[in-house]
Amino acid sequence: MERWNTKNCCNMENKKIDAFLTEVIAVSQKHNLSIGHEDTHGEFIVQKFSQNNADWLMDATDETDDK
């Protein structure tokens, strides 16, 4: 999927990130836990699995130099 790449200032596909995040979500489902984010303090939080959190994680910004 395409996501914003901060190094190139455009939407780009990065299959390495897609694969990584897909595995993180699979582990999350296995343990019925999600990684969320507390915006007001900048902390990550662990919650019961939520598809909304998984979708949000898949929308992560790409800050790698990978093309």
Output the pLDDT for position 61: 94
Structure tokens that stand for 31 in this block: 């343990």
Tracing tokens 């582990």 back to the chain, one arrives at: 27
Other C-beta atoms lying within 10 Å of the C-beta of residue 56:
14
Instruction: Look up residue 50 and give its DSSP letter.
Output: -
Quick one: average pLDDT of 19-36?
97
Structure tokens that stand for 55 in this block: 């979708």
Number of domains in the chain: 1
Establish if 65 belongs to a structural domain.
no
Query: Rounded to an integer, what distance in angstroms lies between the CA atom of residue 35 and that of residue 67?
Result: 26
Question: What is the span of the domain harbouring residue 45?
Answer: 2-58
**Percent of the chain topping pLDDT 70:** 96
Quick one: average pLDDT of 19-26?
97
Measure CA of the first residue to CA of the last residue in the chain; give whole Å. 13
pLDDT tens string 35-57 = 988 776 778 899 999 999 999 99
Establish if 51 belongs to a structural domain.
yes
Quick one: average pLDDT of 19-27?
97
